[in-house]
């Protein structure tokens, strides 16, 4: 058993504070010790103290402590007084202990239950009437309407072909000789030389070497004592000693065998070779206004040939209502079906995007592409 520590209580009747736990009644108003809560001076309930923090602990004399019953007081259900566990009759009203069932701790559990019942939240009030969702619905409808309007198409006949133009180009390639080297020879290459060179390195285990490595570990150094205090429910507390291990960091060295690798070169044959390649060196172009498109003259040299061909067909279209002109690219077949001065219907999004030539009902006839 641990040492007994003096507890204290406050008189709920006259407000006297710091009454010793061995006093069964208030020395100021005479009220018997009843529904009170014992406490230790200078230390909160549940305190954990280190050995050097116990200087102000008020221990009960060990000789006196031998005769103190360590069981909790019992609670008289008639006069609400607390009585020693040794007593069979209430010191205040004389009622038999057999008529009372609760002890100090059970009394406080009942008090706690009553307080929790008092602090239970009141029944929830009826939920306030929900606000109408109609304004939000109207806002959503307006937003969707605006989006639909902007993404809808409009067809207008206020357009006219202002000008038709074209560009054509032919890449001219020349057969050139390249001097190259590599680990392999491409098709058509003619080897002019070869040699052994390092292609890459391989890591190969060479040996193991012992290395001293510093390490650390936690080792038990000693135990230290700390103390807790349990309310005995009779005006006293019991000091309970506990031990906790204290560790220290220990450093040591140990020998570790580590592999050591060496880099071994891997050789391969590298080739020098000549290779002829058709390479674009110039471009022949032609362009004009109108629809008389033709391919440019290439005037090839002996070591040249024609490569890829490219062609662009444009239509400058005027918005007669706004007096603005926009140039579009078109497919050749569609471009050939237009004439300068033709009046057109153009359908596009109301934002101006995705324009195409259509009939008066908006049916697509020819695609238009922005000229970039």
CA distances from 289 to 26, 320, 345 (A): 119, 21, 23
The structure tokens listed for 55 are 């200087």
Residue 239 is predicted with a pLDDT of: 95
| Distance in angstroms (rounded) separating the CA atoms of residues 229 and 223 | 20
Residue 128 is predicted with a pLDDT of: 57
DSSP lists the bridge partners of residue 361 as: none
Residue 129 is predicted with a pLDDT of: 60
Residue 150 is predicted with a pLDDT of: 54
| Distance in angstroms (rounded) separating the CA atoms of residues 100 and 93 | 12
Whether residue 365 lies inside any domain: the answer is: yes
pLDDT tens by residue, the chain, 372 residues: 899 999 999 999 999 999 999 998 999 998 888 889 999 998 888 889 999 999 999 999 999 999 999 999 999 988 888 988 989 999 888 899 988 888 999 888 888 888 888 887 766 665 556 667 777 777 777 777 666 655 567 888 899 999 999 999 999 999 999 999 999 999 999 999 999 999 999 999 999 999 999 999 999 999 999 999 999 999 999 999 999 999 999 999 999 999 999 999 999 999 999 999 999 999 999 999 999 999 999 999 999 999 999 999 999 999 999 999 999 999 999 999 999 999 999 998 876 678 999 999 989 999 999 987
Neighbouring residues of 337: CB distance < 8 A, sequence distance ≥ 6: 366
DSSP-assigned letters across all residues of 123-149? PPPPPPPPPPSHHHHHHHHHHHHHHHH
Residue 152 is predicted with a pLDDT of: 62
In the three-class reduction of DSSP (H, G, I as helix; E, B as strand; rest coil), residue 159 is classed as: strand
Whether residue 1 lies inside any domain: the answer is: no
**Which position has the token pair 């205090």?**
229
Whether residue 205 lies inside any domain: the answer is: no
Whether residue 57 lies inside any domain: the answer is: no
Whether residue 319 lies inside any domain: the answer is: yes
Residue 353 is predicted with a pLDDT of: 73
3-state helix, strand, coil in the chain (%, to 5): 15, 50, 35
Residue 164 is predicted with a pLDDT of: 97
The full 3-state SS of 298-336, as one line of letters, equals CCCCCCEEEEEEEEEEEEEEEECCCCEEEEEEECHHHHH
| Distance in angstroms (rounded) separating the CA atoms of residues 107 and 233 | 10
Total count of domains within the chain: 1
| Distance in angstroms (rounded) separating the CA atoms of residues 197 and 62 | 95
CA distances from 295 to 62, 165, 193, 223, 347 (A): 121, 14, 45, 100, 33
Residue 72 phi/psi, 5° resolution? -70, 155
Give the domain range for residue 292.
Answer: 158-171+285-370
């Amino acid at each position: 058993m641990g040492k007994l520590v003096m507890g204290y209580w406050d008189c709920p009747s006259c407000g006297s504070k710091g009454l010793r736990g061995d006093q069964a009644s208030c020395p100021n108003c005479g009220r018997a010790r009843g529904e009170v809560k014992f406490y230790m001076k200078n230390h909160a309930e549940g305190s954990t103290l280190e050995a050097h923090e116990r200087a102000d602990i008020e221990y009960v004399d060990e000789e006196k402590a031998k005769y103190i019953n360590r069981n909790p007081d019992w609670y008289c259900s008639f006069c609400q007084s607390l009585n020693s566990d040794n007593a069979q009759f209430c010191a205040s009203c004389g009622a038999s202990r057999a008529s009372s069932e609760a002890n100090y701790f059970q009394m406080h559990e009942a008090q706690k239950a009553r307080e929790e019942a008092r602090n239970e939240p009141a029944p929830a009030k009826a939920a306030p009437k929900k606000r109408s969702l109609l304004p939000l619905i109207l806002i959503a409808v307006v937003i969707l309407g605006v989006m639909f309007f902007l993404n809808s198409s409009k067809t207008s006949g206020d357009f006219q072909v202002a000008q038709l133009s074209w560009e054509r180009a032919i890449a001219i390639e020349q057969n050139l000789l390249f001097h190259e080297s590599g680990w392999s020879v491409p098709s058509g290459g003619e080897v002019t030389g070869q040699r052994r060179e390092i292609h890459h390195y391989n890591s190969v285990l060479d040996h193991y070497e012992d290395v001293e490595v510093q390490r650390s570990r936690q080792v038990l150094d000693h135990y230290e004592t700390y103390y807790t205090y349990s309310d005995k429910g009779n005006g006293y507390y019991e000091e309970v000693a506990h031990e906790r291990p204290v560790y220290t960091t220990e450093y040591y060295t140990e020998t570790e065998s580590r592999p050591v690798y060496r880099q071994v070169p891997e050789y391969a044959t590298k080739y020098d070779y000549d290779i002829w390649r058709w390479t674009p060196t110039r471009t022949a172009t032609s362009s004009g206004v109108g629809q008389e498109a033709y391919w440019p003259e290439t005037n090839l040299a002996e070591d040249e040939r024609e490569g890829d061909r490219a062609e662009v067909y444009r239509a400058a279209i005027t918005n007669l209502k706004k007096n603005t002109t926009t140039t579009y690219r078109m497919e050749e077949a569609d471009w050939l079906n237009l004439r300068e001065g033709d009046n057109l219907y153009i359908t596009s999004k109301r934002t101006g995007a995705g324009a195409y030539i259509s009939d008066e009902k908006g049916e697509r006839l020819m695609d238009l592409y922005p000229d970039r």
